[in-house]
Structure formats: structure tokens, C-alpha cells
Structure 1
């Protein structure tokens, strides 16, 4: 049996743990998808000099900003072409996504951004049980939380046309250094289920628009691990949404829902640094995470990254490319909503259903056709 057939049979036979304390249903179509939805076919477009130049300039400005904050100047120089190639989850897990270049003054920034990575759409993962809808548009989402600084740049492209998608909104959220998601009350393992103050938190949650080259970036923190899942960050890409006077978005549709991951070696190094080192929850390896396996069979959902300074504690700059279907309209059922008065639990959301015994649970894996 081939690895692909083995995983397909596994999809039909076994549930996947996507969050601690609860098994999440996994679904797969009996038929093969109508088309492959990775970004490998976009190689020519991504190799266009102007495309490379603009991507390098945007990511380069972000890295330069971070480097200047440490008193280091970085210059932008010549460009190199990226390489795109099909992968499987085992080979992806063995790739070292850290830049092999020393980040220094006068360096050639294109050597950092020559391979932006690509999250394919098949299969897609819905928002999971800890999504809060209505978070504010903001670049800095740490709220003073302690941890290793992580600036994350996500480039959004149309997987059919290979063109960048400007004016989209990217919504991300992740756990803190000790593996806790702020903003949702009552989920097992995520703080005191009776403590309503957790609903007032917005740490490591936020929304950013994509610029003219399809790039949105966030100043966040490296997420902590927790039992049952590999270390990851969630993301939703909204199209057609409207910015409101209160700095939130409404309307539109979720064209892509996914998760991005990190090198296992990087996670190991981070877990040795305080406050991550105080996290005693079990670590789940990438290759033991079913959703990682699905996302990494055919493409690479692990971010590329570089150290901002000389030491890991000074922060990371990471980048990745999302391929989206602009015609898609993914269902979104948040655990809570953010309002002017703070967070409000969704009585029909996945956490409420879990606690109320309604039988429903909102995190599933499915193929798009």
C-alpha cells in the first residue's frame, strides 16, 4: 500500500485529536478531488522578477524594522528565484526551514525570501473550537504577554491564477507560551472554566489587511505547545469584508481556513526558554499530528524563518504563502464574539455544544472540490 493510500484509509477509519480533551471528527470524500490545489503550478508566476522583487521588498522592510529595533541596519540587494516542489509530510518534517544565512548589514535579503512556502487548500481545516470572531484590526497582538517575539508575514495568492490577493483580511490566533488560548471560557485545559475574566482577553488574536502584494503581517509571539496538537497558529482569510468605525470587520466570506506550523527543532529550542520551559503539557510532534500530516502531504505548511538578532530570545521573523480559492465560502462557527463590552460566548458555538452535550463539534477536516 502506498503512503497516500494508507493515509486515505486512515482518514476514513480514525478520528484526529485537534485540541486537548476532545476527539474531532475527520471526514474525507470517497472520490478523489477534482483538482490538485497546491501552488506548484504557480512556479512561473512566482519566478517573475517583479513578483520576487516586490515580495522581497515587503518582507525586507519588516525584517529591517525588527533589526533596527535591535540597533542593526539591513540593506536590500539583489534577488534570487524561488523553487517550488511537491512534498510529503515526512519530507516536510525533515526540512530545516531556518535561513542558512547570517542576518547582517548589507546581506542579500532575497536569500531569506527565495522560498516563501505554500499552504495548499486540500484538505482545508475549519476554525477549530477556540476561534473568537470580531477581533480588532491590529498589527501588534501580544498585549504585553511574555514570550519570544514572532513577526509573521503571510502572503495570500489565488491558487488558480497565481496572482496576489490585495484587500483581503487575515485573522490569526494562537496559544500563549504556556499553551493557553485567551478569549474563550470553559474549554477543557484552557484555564479555570468558571473564570469569566478570560473572555476579556484578546492576546495573540488580531486581524490585518493584505497590501497591494497580498501580504499581511503581525507582531506576535511564538505559540506554546499543549497536549494533543503540534505547535501551530490558526488563520482565516476573509474576502469582501468591511472595516467598521470600531476597527473591526464585518461581512464578507471566509475563503480559506488553515493552520501553519514550525520546525520541530525550533520548537525544542523554544521550549528551553522561559516562560515556555514552565509548560509541562505533553509535546505532540509534527509527524504525530494528523492535521499536520494532511496539510503537509503535497505542500509545506511550515513557516520559513530567520533570527532577528543573535539569540533566539531576541525574536524571529517568519513568512509563508497561502493559496486560496477566491470563490470559496467556508462555514465559520466561533466559540465567542468580541464586542465593545468584551467577549461573549456563542451559545451555539463548539465550546457551548461541547459543554452542553449537544453532540456537535466544530473542528473537522475535509477536502474542497
Structure 2
């Protein structure tokens, strides 16, 4: 087992030797990458076995039935809100390492035309996985104490994306309630909000960042846009799960510990289609394919597919996407070490973390347009 994991780590390391990254904090040595990949995959195996043992539990089956009904209702609501009730709509299929997952289509829209006779379980019953592998890399632009809100778009242009995530505690096989889920991404042309680093949005910006508490089924939802890309990285969405955090009267949070951090990736075909539309097509930074991104090695295992399901709400990208995944995590974990924050949001704006060094790794020119 460990020999296989070691060989996988070496293969990933070899594939990364020529990569250049755009942001400080994402440039790891070959030894660091190998060690982190091995560690993350061992965690994955342990957590996967814990979840597999309870898949036939009546409560688990009932939760899955509720998830199917909820996703179907969300899909119908999003279409109605966009005036697409009568519009045609198109159809992720789901089993292995990242290359195998990447070869699949995660499009529940795609090349298959579904109709009113299609079963909700056919469309909304599949999940990316039942285990979320900590990839031990949150990137350098995590902002602490962000706003608790579900709509993070702030009128930023891009393909609308409604993101629904369901978190399951591997210790109990029950929904992971009382978590705060933090998500963020760059905009369509590769800039992050909330940080003062060169080429980014600045401390006074908050676009495409937000935090939501999980409900009784461990679910959070965000309205955002499909992320753009920057140099050396495939398109990705950041996730952090906070345990024990306290919400504040100003609509932010404080304290707690991080029980999970990772990045979701997206089908290459979907990426290509979206990158051809405005404003994504104004981004002149070279694209990085999923298969050569340095962090997909953390994210993918034979048990975990890091590419979420999606469905187009109408017959074109401009109508938006509904993206969903069911994710398992160990709420007893503590990944604080891997989540240094670049800045903190407080009343009146953002403040740099004095202990965070943006210049620890030099920026390769040019990073952003």
C-alpha cells in the first residue's frame, strides 16, 4: 500500500518539475510534494473505509434521498428565477487516480438530452465521492474572518455558478452540522480579492469570497461565478471547513480550527468552453491543463474524484451552472498549520497579516494581465 502511494507521489513530483506558479506559497519542493501527497492519500484511505462501512444504514439512505429531492428542487428554482422554466436544457456521470477521473465527463448537461421522463436519481443522485481528501494546500490568498453570506458575486462578470456542497462526518456517517464553510476563487481574468499582493484586487475588495454555516443536512450553497485561471494553475475553487468558530455581530466569524481544506477542479471540456467566452477570453495568461496542475495530485485518489457534478440551467453557458458535490471529512482533524492567512477582514476593510510574507516566493513575470 505505502509503496504504491510512494510511487504515485514520485510520479506526481516528476510531472511537476518544470511547473511555474503564479502565487507565493504554492511553490513546493519535490520532497514536500511527495510527502504531502502520501500523507493526504493515507488520510483518504482511512476516511474512505469509515464511510464505506455505513452506506447501507437506513439513515444514510434517507439522507441521500433528501439530497436528490433537494438538488432537483434547487435546479427547478434556479431555472424559474432565470426565466428558463420552458427553456430546453442539456445533461457528470460517474469510478481511480486523477487521470481516470479527468477522462470522465462530469456534465449532467453535456451531450445527453434529458427530458421530463428522466429520473431525478439519474441526474442528481450521483456524487463526486463520499470522501474529501485534504490536499494540505489552501494557496496563499486565504482571507481570515470573511463575510458570512451566500451570494458572493458582487456583480463580478462571468458565468453564473450555484455551488451546493454537502459535508458528511466520517466519524459518525451523519451530516456535518455546525461547520462554517469558507469558499473563494479568482475572477474571470485571474485576480483574487481581499489581498494586497501585486496584481490582485486589494485589501478593500471582497468579491467571490464568503462563508456559510452547514444546515441540518450538512449543506451549504453559494452563488458565485465559474473561476478563471492564472499562471501555473488549473481552474479551481478553494474550500475550508471551520469547526468551533464563533459568528460575530458584524456578519463575520472568529476562532475555531480548520478540519479540512482543499480545491475543487472542473471538467476540461467545461473549462475550455467557458474560457472561450467573455470576459474569460480576455485573459492572456497561458492555461494549465488539469493533468499537469501541481495540486491535482493531492486531490485525486482511487476513492475521491475532485471534479464536481454540474448541469447547465438552460441551453447556453450564459444561463449559468448548478454545481454540486457530497464530501466527507473528519471533523476531528486540525489542518491549521496548512492554512496561513494573507489578511483578515475587519470593520472598515482588510488588514494584512504581519506574519505572512507575500514575497517568500518571487512572482514570475507577468503574473496577471
Q: If the TM-score is normalised by the length of the shorter chain, which range does it land in?
A: 0.7 to 0.9
Task: Please report how far the alpha carbon of residue 52 of structure 1 lies from its aligned counterpart in structure 2 after TM superposition.
Answer: 1.9
342, 346, 353: which one aligns with 1:346? 353
TM-superposed CA distance for 1:41, in Å, is: 4.8
Distance 1:103 1:185, change over 3 A: farther
Check if 1:241 corresponds to 2:242. no
Helix, strand or coil: the match of 2:46? coil
Q: Determine if the alignment matches structure 1 residue 164 to structure 2 residue 169.
A: no
User: C-alpha separation between the residues in 1 aligned to 2:114 and 2:343?
Assistant: 41
Aligned residue runs from structure 1 range 22-33, under 5 A: 22=24, 23-25=27-29, 26-27=32-33, 28=35, 33=42
Instruction: Number of aligned residue pairs: give it.
Output: 340
Matches within 5 A, 1:136-147: 136-147=147-158
Q: How does 1:164-243 map to 2 (within 5 A)?
A: 164-187=175-198, 190-191=199-200, 198-243=202-247
2:101 to 82, 87, 92: 92
Partner in structure 1 of residue 365 of structure 2: none
Unaligned runs of 5+ in 1: 75-81, 192-196, 356-369
Question: Structure 2: which 5+ residue stretches go unaligned?
Answer: 87-91, 363-369
CA distance in 2, matches of 1:48, 1:330: 27
User: What TM-score, normalized by structure 2, do the two folds share?
Assistant: 0.83
State whether residues 93 and 104 of structure 2, in contact with CA within 8 Å, keep that contact through their aligned partners in structure 1. no
Corresponding residue of 1:359: none
Q: 2:318 aligns with which of 288, 313, 317?
A: 313
Q: Deviations over 1:314-341 (max 9, x none)?
A: 1000001221111111113100011111
Distance 1:127 1:321, change over 3 A: same
Which whole-Å CA distance do the structure 2 matches of 1:308 and 1:294 have between them?
31
Give RMSD over aligned pairs: 3.0
Structure 2 match to 1:363: none
Please give the alpha-carbon distance, in whole angstroms, between the structure 1 residues aligned to 2:166 and 2:360.
Answer: 34
Corresponding position of 1:7:
8
Q: Hey, what's the Cα distance between the residues in 2 that align with 1:15 and 1:84?
A: 31
CA distance in 1, matches of 2:119, 2:42: 40
In 1: Cα distance, 2:244 partner to 2:352 partner: 25
Task: Report the equivalent of 2:77.
Answer: 65
Q: Say if 1:18 and 1:24, in contact at 8 Å, map to a contact too.
A: no
Q: Secondary structure at the match of 1:220?
A: strand
Change (3 A) 1:133 1:16: farther
Structure 1 residue 40: Cα displacement: 4.8
Answer yes or no: is the 8 Å Cα contact 1:260–1:302 preserved in 2: yes
Q: Deviations over 1:87-134 (max 9, x none)?
A: 211110001001155466675333222112127454532321011111
Give the SS at the match of 2:76. Answer: helix
Alignment of 1:79-118 (within 5 A): 85=95, 87-100=96-109, 102=113, 108-118=119-129
Whether 1:37 aligns to 2:47 is yes
2:318 and 2:93 mapped to 1: Cα distance?
30
Q: Which residue of 1 aligns with 2:332?
A: 327
Q: Return the offset for 1:291.
A: 1.2
Structure with higher helix content = 2
Q: How big is the shift at 1:156?
A: 0.5
SS of the aligned residue for 2:123 comes to helix
Distance 1:225 1:3, change over 3 A: farther
TM-score after normalising by structure 1: 0.83
Aligned to 1:20: 22
Structure 1 residues 295, 338: CA separation in 2 closer, same or farther (over 3 Å shift)?
A: same
Range that drifts further, 308-317 or 58-67: 58-67
Distance 1:233 1:296 in 2: 15
8 Å Cα contact 1:200-1:343 kept in structure 2: yes
Judge conservation of contact 2:149–2:210 (CA < 8 Å) in 1.
yes
